[in-house]
Amino acid sequence: MQVSLPMYWVPNDAVQVFWSAIAKRLQELHGLSVAPTLAAPLDLHAHWRDPELLLSQTCGYPLSTILHDKVQVLGTFAYDAPGAQGIACRSQMIVQSHDPRTTLSQFAGSTFAFNAKDSQSGFNAPRAWIAGQRLAGLSQPLQQQPFFTTMLETGSHRASIEAVLQAGADIASIDCVTLALWRSAHPDLAGNIRVLAQTDPYPGLPLITGLTTPATVVLALRESLKAVATEPRYAALRAPLRITGFEATSLSDYGVCLAMEQAIRQDPKLDPA
């Protein structure tokens, strides 16, 4: 059975070490023999749909829309990052540090960069937040038009950050943990961007397992994930990843993702795209 933790792959070595501690605990305490090395699947959607999947990390938006009947939800990590509180996260709306604009309304008609249309942090959450904000910040004629002139799909949060840095985009929505990890890895560039605002909160990236995973294994996975994410003896292993905790969660906890999508669809004029 495959195992991956593909969503926050920086720093790579730290993710592998973190998983090794989980794998060791699963074997020693629960008698589960698991892959010692994380997989790096090229097709994440096929990987997530594999009924034999043991463990992976996905995004709350695809979980709620296309994976809800194909996986079991194990839980969610808590992170130490600006914009995160417990397992809840807020997307960070970033701009260049020297950009004189200070309010969202001033970015009407600009270029927005996002990682993918199936991303909760990069697309769904900011669309819902912008749709609500624009009502208060724009004149009535502008409220009837798409908020951004150009929508730039970059393929990754890292590429969205680069787009803002290189002036290919005026503003981008970045997962708050990704942004914190990126700042740590690029201290020379971190001062070139600033957070203009942040979205409403939503649960962070869900950890999932396949539909055929037995209940006893689900419990073992949750126990081991929580232990390595919280016990003091593992603190040094999780520190580079900014993981501070773990909560068992379910599909219903991610209903906020669908609520954000539905809030936009109820009135198409509010769709910032």
How is residue 175 annotated by DSSP?
A: -
Rounded alpha-carbon distances, angstroms, from residue 239 to 19, 68, 155, 253: 13, 31, 27, 26
pLDDT for residue 266? 58
- The number of beta carbons lying within 10 Å of the beta carbon of residue 266 is 9
pLDDT for residue 264? 77
pLDDT for residue 214? 97
How far apart CA 243 and CA 241 sit, in angstroms, is 5
Contacts of 248 (CB under 8 A, 6+ apart): 74, 75, 222, 226
Are 77 and 243 within 8 A, CB to CB? yes
Give me the domains of the chain, ranges plus CATH numbers.
12-80+203-258 (3.40.190.180), 88-202 (3.40.190.10)
pTM listed for this prediction: 0.93
Any idea of the CA torsion for 60, 240, 86, 271, to the nearest 10 degrees?
-40
pLDDT for residue 245? 98
Q: Kind and range of the H or E element at 126?
A: helix 125-137
pLDDT for residue 147? 84
Are 247 and 233 within 8 A, CB to CB? no
Q: pLDDT tens track of the chain, all 273 residues? A: 889 999 997 778 999 999 999 999 999 999 999 999 999 999 999 999 998 899 999 999 999 999 999 999 999 999 999 999 999 999 999 999 999 999 998 998 999 999 999 999 999 999 999 888 765 555 555 556 778 999 999 999 999 999 999 999 999 999 999 999 999 999 999 999 999 999 999 999 999 999 999 999 999 999 999 999 999 999 999 999 999 999 999 999 999 999 999 877 755 554 555
pLDDT for residue 134? 65
